[in-house]
């Protein structure tokens, strides 16, 4: 794999050929939190980051920068910082969102399986193969809409991982340790760290994602009324929104 | 076309088969601002919105809602409001970003072609085939990172349009008329209108997008140093960042 090939070769290596279609890929990219213990090869990372940077941004300013944490001392230290947040966030969330209550107490239920995956993901976050911190160089005052120039790139990144047989998930683990991360990694004070994305080879697999029915998410000329065409295709998998029911929606200690 | 088929049929119509690969699609989705004067068929809109709603969001809360403006009086009125903004924004931007200066004065130059496309797009915005307003139901205080639950869906939407032979572009035309749009369309006060996206059949075509070299956008363990693998594949098209050089980066009247 990439580690054993002279690095400058990659400028002569084309993007990997596609094995997944564009519509199919979007409908089957799951959040992947369980990884096989193997590195992500350099040529895969190259293709993933190439796809990420093809995303649009306001006036094509390309204010996105991606800090890619692989091996090495500094990467390990950054992962340790993030892992500390992951663990305390899960402790809080498992309790607050009632993951152990109701069907969560039934071994093998979807809720119990989700809780186990989350617990293992957070407990061993140091060992995820790759962590990417997508950052944005601000050129205006912070706003909700500035995300329009960084989160499309994050989505491309996750879709590209799917295209190449890998997977990841977008989290907010950096929030409580943003200052420490900026110091450690030399990220400029004015940059916005938009996410913490972990990547690796899935221990499970991708597949159709579950969402609310299309008619609940799409409105026509008036809010609340779905157009007649807003009908899910045959075989669609559904789920209700968000964390387990009865969850308080008050602000958690760190955004998740 | 969808208009002539009984609407409830779409629940029995599968997603369109893929003709574009996932990696290829991301590398060749351009901002499309020139449209043929034909409607977007219902089955195409269904597939586009289905892909949009497959996007991830925090805790899979699916806070995204899409107001799809097609034909009809209310849609026409909303498009008129947005067109007014588009025109005054372009007037401002053409001057501020110096589109008529330097190579912009040379007929047929990339800058002059971009200026003409923008001028025509903004001048006739009322007539774009479809406008989508992606909104987010807030469950926390506004923040820069909340975009992580709405802009990935916007990117899926644009990629899906590409997959189906259509195209679009994400703008901020709603900002100065947000209150009027909410009133007109019944959008709840607390919802965040994240973008104004126009969609249609391209008069031009998609193709490889241009970006800065990968090594300028990707950092390793330390900000400013690119990993050895950050090399663009053969045949990559490049461009510098943002609007024409020498552009003031001060805040424009409305965010663009």
Q: Which domains does chain A have, with CATH numbers?
A: 20-207 (3.40.109.10), 210-242 (no CATH)
**Average of pLDDT values for A128-153?**
97
Low-confidence ranges of chain B (pLDDT < 70): 1-8, 243-256
Min Cα distance A222 → chain B (Å) is: 5
Contact B217 A66 (CB under 8 A): yes
Structural contact between residues A216 and A109, judged by C-beta atoms closer than 8 angstroms? no
pLDDT at position B102 is: 85
Using alpha carbons only, what angle is made at residue A133 by residues A131 and A137, rounded to the nearest 5 degrees?
Answer: 165
Nearest to B23 among A15, A59, A228 (CB): A15
User: Does position A39 have pLDDT exceeding 70, yes or no?
Assistant: yes
Q: What pLDDT digit, counting tens, does each position of A178-225 carry?
A: 999 999 999 999 999 999 999 999 999 999 999 999 999 999 988 999
Contact B256 A23 (CB under 8 A): no
pLDDT at position B5 is: 53
Contact A65 B151 (CB under 8 A): no
pLDDT at position B103 is: 84
Q: How confident is the model at residue A15 (pLDDT cuts 50, 70, 90)?
A: very high
pTM (two decimals):
0.93
pLDDT at position A253 is: 44
pLDDT at position A3 is: 47
Nearest to B242 among A29, A55, A59 (CB): A59
Structural contact between residues A150 and A208, judged by C-beta atoms closer than 8 angstroms? no
Residues of chain B contacting residue A58, judged by C-beta atoms under 8 Å apart:
172, 256
Number of other residues whose CB lies within 10 A of the CB of residue B93: 20
Residues of chain A contacting residue B163, judged by C-beta atoms under 8 Å apart:
21-23
Of the candidates A174, A142, A193, A145, the one whose C-alpha atom is nearest the C-alpha of residue B147 is: A145
Of the candidates B151, B167, B26, B67, the one whose C-alpha atom is nearest the C-alpha of residue A148 is: B151
Helix (H, G, I), strand (E, B) or coil at A38: coil
Q: How confident is the model at residue A6 (pLDDT cuts 50, 70, 90)?
A: low
Residues of chain B contacting residue A230, judged by C-beta atoms under 8 Å apart:
46, 49
pLDDT at position B8 is: 58
pLDDT at position A77 is: 97
DSSP state at residue B67? E
pLDDT at position A93 is: 87
Identify the closest residue of chain B to A160 by CA–CA distance. B23
Contact A46 B229 (CB under 8 A): yes
Mean pLDDT, all residues of chain A:
91
pLDDT at position A250 is: 41
Min Cα distance A144 → chain B (Å) is: 4
Task: Report the number of secondary-structure helices (H) and strands (E) in chain B.
Answer: 7, 6
Distance CA B230, CA B214 (A): 6
Beta bridge partners of A226: none
Contact A65 B172 (CB under 8 A): no
Higher pLDDT, B9 or A83: A83
pLDDT at position A252 is: 45
Contact B222 A74 (CB under 8 A): yes
Residues of chain A contacting residue B222, judged by C-beta atoms under 8 Å apart:
74, 185-186
Parallel/antiparallel/unpaired status of strands B64-69 and A218-219? parallel
Beta bridge partners of B69: B131
User: Does position A5 have pLDDT exceeding 80, yes or no?
Assistant: no
Structural contact between residues A174 and A195, judged by C-beta atoms closer than 8 angstroms? yes
Residues of chain B contacting residue A195, judged by C-beta atoms under 8 Å apart:
145, 148
**Average of pLDDT values for A154-172?**
98
Residues of chain A contacting residue B246, judged by C-beta atoms under 8 Å apart:
none
Nearest to B186 among A65, A139, A224 (CB): A224
Min Cα distance A224 → chain B (Å) is: 8
Q: Where are the beta strands (DSSP E) in A46-126?
A: 64-69
Contact B220 A49 (CB under 8 A): no
Residues of chain A contacting residue B152, judged by C-beta atoms under 8 Å apart:
151-152, 154-155, 158, 170
Please name the helix (run of DSSP H) or strand (run of DSSP E) that holds residue A113, with its range, or none.
helix A110-123
Supply the ipTM of this predicted assembly.
0.93
Contact B23 A51 (CB under 8 A): yes
- Cα atoms in the Cβ-side hemisphere of radius 13 Å centred on A122: 21
End-to-end distance of chain A based on CA atoms, in angstroms?
A: 34
């Amino acid at each position: 794999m990439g580690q054993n090939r002279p690095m400058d070769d990659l400028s002569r290596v084309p993007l990997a050929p596609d094995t997944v279609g564009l519509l199919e890929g979007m409908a089957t990219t799951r959040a992947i939190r369980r990884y096989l213990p193997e590195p992500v090869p350099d040529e895969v990372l190259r293709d993933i980051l190439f796809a990420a940077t093809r995303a649009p941004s306001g006036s094509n300013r390309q204010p996105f920068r991606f800090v890619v944490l692989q091996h090495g001392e500094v990467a390990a230290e950054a992962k340790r910082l993030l892992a500390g947040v992951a663990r305390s966030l899960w402790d809080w969330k498992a309790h607050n969102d009632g993951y152990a209550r109701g069907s969560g107490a039934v071994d093998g239920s979807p809720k119990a399986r989700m809780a186990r995956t989350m617990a293992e993901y957070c407990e061993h976050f140091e060992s995820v193969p790759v962590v990417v911190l997508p950052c944005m160089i601000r050129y205006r005052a912070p706003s909700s809409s500035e995300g329009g120039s960084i989160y499309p790139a994050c989505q491309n990144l996750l879709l590209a991982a799917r295209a190449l047989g890998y997977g990841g998930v977008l989290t907010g683990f950096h929030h409580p340790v943003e200052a420490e991360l900026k110091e450690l990694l030399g990220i400029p004070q004015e940059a916005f760290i938009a996410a913490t994305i972990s990547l690796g080879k899935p221990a499970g697999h991708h597949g159709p994602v579950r969402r609310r029915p299309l008619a609940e998410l799409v409105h026509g000329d008036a809010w609340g009324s779905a157009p007649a065409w807003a009908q899910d295709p045959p075989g669609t998998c559904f789920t209700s929104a968000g964390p387990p029911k009865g969850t308080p929606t008050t602000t958690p200690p760190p955004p998740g």
